[in-house]
Structure 1
């Protein structure tokens, strides 16, 4: 597995409104052609087409309503109102009824677009009935893109549920205590000087695309070695008193043999995705599993980015499974993210006095801005410091009126 250099090229983005723009463009072009060739029948044709497109879903909704009222009114709706719940669930909403009513009124006012009245009504009802039939048979069913768009928009995918469960049931509970656990761990392991960098004090969460998770990282890469566990966090959860949550510390060796300590683990819900793909009854193949892993990564990243409890305490690492020839790809991926974290951190603490003396001794002359006191040059205090808020205790003063003070020569 290797760390992806460009994750944006792999992670699917939410679908946009481009199909709506294309549909609006086609409708505008077609309407313009009708206006150009037959402007006198435009409103009648538009009204009849709208009626066909609305009466078909209404007839199909009536077929669905018959099923729901006969067999599912108590089990699925628990006796709730017909107008408020059952009708909208069957597609008999107010928008469709309103569009059909307005189209009927427009057709009545504009007249019949066909030469004979009987032809107009026959075509209208025949098209509506055939639409309901084809819709019930699945011929006019939603495409895979539409189903995917609905599931992603309404957060109905398996990945969305797993990501929220992982956040609410685990990360939101343990990440706020991570820094305290690392501090306690360093106090008991001060001789080995673990967690030298700021990036290593975050929880590194590995998300492999193949969802195949090893329970021991050292089995995948011999440059990764188990070091110790952080102190346990005991939280009362779901009736269990003192449920234990723990993290493992690993030492990752670079190409020079230097050890870098970090808290790293796999995203546990990926085991569920992998096991589902192994069960034939789940109907969850490898392509669907890969897509759900990407959605899981995108959803979890979005959740954690908006979480105040978890901010700056985690790092998601997406791992590719295409090239597995290098036995040290996992350690290289972890080290790359650790180095990236170190480069992104900026130190705001003042420079120590020893560093100032060392800088002065390395220069032959003092800078012109340094003042002379008791015959010795002193370096001024560094400009960077921790930001502070300053409040004024004075009462606000009213604005003064402009006063003319220009002198004119006579």
Structure 2
């Protein structure tokens, strides 16, 4: 087979995106070297340069702490559901103190040591820095760009989970959900006493956080009782002829043993 025949036949063929190669990080190093060179060529006094650098670092770290405080104000209401009641887990999730804490301490100490007597009071500078950072948070200017979110998802391998979720929706839910109602109506006509009140019909899709689902639901809970199977749906999907989609019907009893 010739090489030309292996090429996509249509110019709009969608290609699978490749993993990012870390060029953004290399661009950071390049720009860092250029900025350091430009700063050196200005001939500014070392003390003034060091004070400005530490001042900017302190402002950035204050912004991180303020943002974490705002997030913590929300997360404390979700301790049980998200952190199993552990306050320290919520605290560590909001405040990345492993690096930001020491950097803030070192830069803050260096900045205080480099202050001159004629400078603005330290308390005023901290208030102004906090005000600027809170304005950034209030205006939503701290949110990552679409590229940053995509890179974070790719780095943490969440894109794989997203693909599996979309596969579950496109390859299963999108197919069977429109037919569930028809199957329920057909079953109700044959068994009018089982699903008597149509107005109470509801669809609940329950997925445990652990994604661990029992093969036999009756063994998971004695209040769940298997009744029968709904009408099978047979479709041709993804090259598979007459693929069968089948669902089981269960009865759930409450504490009064009522279905």
Q: TM-score, normalised by structure 1?
A: 0.36
State which of 12, 26, 44 in structure 2 corresponds to 1:38.
44
Deviation at 1:164, TM superposition (A): 8.0
Distance (whole Å) between structure 1 residues aligned to residue 24 and residue 165 of structure 2: 30
Distance 1:24 1:8, change over 3 A: farther
Distance (whole Å) between structure 2 residues aligned to residue 13 and residue 115 of structure 1: 55
State which of 234, 238, 242 in structure 1 corresponds to 2:215.
238
Distance (whole Å) between structure 1 residues aligned to residue 15 and residue 117 of structure 2: 56
1:71-86 correspondence runs (5 A): 71-80=77-86, 82-83=87-88, 85-86=89-90
| Contact kept in structure 2, 1:35 and 1:42, CA below 8 Å | no
Aligned equivalent of 1:23: 28
The answer as to 2:167 corresponding to 1:161 is no
Deviation at 1:145, TM superposition (A): 1.2
Distance 1:133 1:102, change over 3 A: same
Aligned equivalent of 2:101: 97
Distance (whole Å) between structure 1 residues aligned to residue 117 and residue 40 of structure 2: 19
Partner of 2:82, secondary structure, is coil
Deviation at 1:106, TM superposition (A): 2.3
- Deviations for 1:82-111, whole angstroms, at most 9, x for unmatched residues? 33x1122213432111111121122234x1
Distance (whole Å) between structure 2 residues aligned to residue 139 and residue 118 of structure 1: 27
Aligned equivalent of 2:60: 53
- Deviations for 1:157-214, whole angstroms, at most 9, x for unmatched residues? 4643237869xxx9xxxxxxxxxxxxxxxxxxxxxxxxxxxxxxxxxxxxxxxx99xx
How many pairs were matched up? 178
Aligned equivalent of 1:264: 239
Point out where structure 1 has 5 or more consecutive residues left out of the alignment: 171-210, 213-236, 241-245, 249-262, 269-410
Distance (whole Å) between structure 2 residues aligned to residue 149 and residue 20 of structure 1: 12
Aligned equivalent of 1:139: 141
Partner of 1:133, secondary structure, is helix
Q: TM-score, normalised by structure 2?
A: 0.54
Partner of 2:80, secondary structure, is coil
* Superposed CA RMSD: 4.1
- Deviations for 1:333-356, whole angstroms, at most 9, x for unmatched residues? xxxxxxxxxxxxxxxxxxxxxxxx
1:362-377 correspondence runs (5 A): none
| Contact kept in structure 2, 1:61 and 1:90, CA below 8 Å | yes
State which of 86, 91, 103 in structure 2 corresponds to 1:87.
91
Partner of 1:54, secondary structure, is helix
| Contact kept in structure 2, 1:56 and 1:129, CA below 8 Å | no
Distance (whole Å) between structure 2 residues aligned to residue 125 and residue 29 of structure 1: 32
| Contact kept in structure 2, 1:61 and 1:91, CA below 8 Å | yes
Per residue, is there more helix in 1 or in 2? 2
Deviation at 1:140, TM superposition (A): 2.1
Distance 1:120 1:24, change over 3 A: farther
Deviation at 1:133, TM superposition (A): 3.1
1:295-334 correspondence runs (5 A): none
Deviation at 1:79, TM superposition (A): 0.8
Distance (whole Å) between structure 2 residues aligned to residue 25 and residue 138 of structure 1: 29
Partner of 1:95, secondary structure, is helix
1:348-363 correspondence runs (5 A): none
Distance (whole Å) between structure 2 residues aligned to residue 8 and residue 42 of structure 1: 53
Deviation at 1:118, TM superposition (A): 1.7
Deviation at 1:77, TM superposition (A): 1.5
- Deviations for 1:361-410, whole angstroms, at most 9, x for unmatched residues? xxxxxxxxxxxxxxxxxxxxxxxxxxxxxxxxxxxxxxxxxxxxxxxxxx
Distance (whole Å) between structure 2 residues aligned to residue 99 and residue 15 of structure 1: 29
More relative contact order, 1 or 2 (CA 8 Å, 6+ apart): 1
Distance (whole Å) between structure 1 residues aligned to residue 142 and residue 215 of structure 2: 46
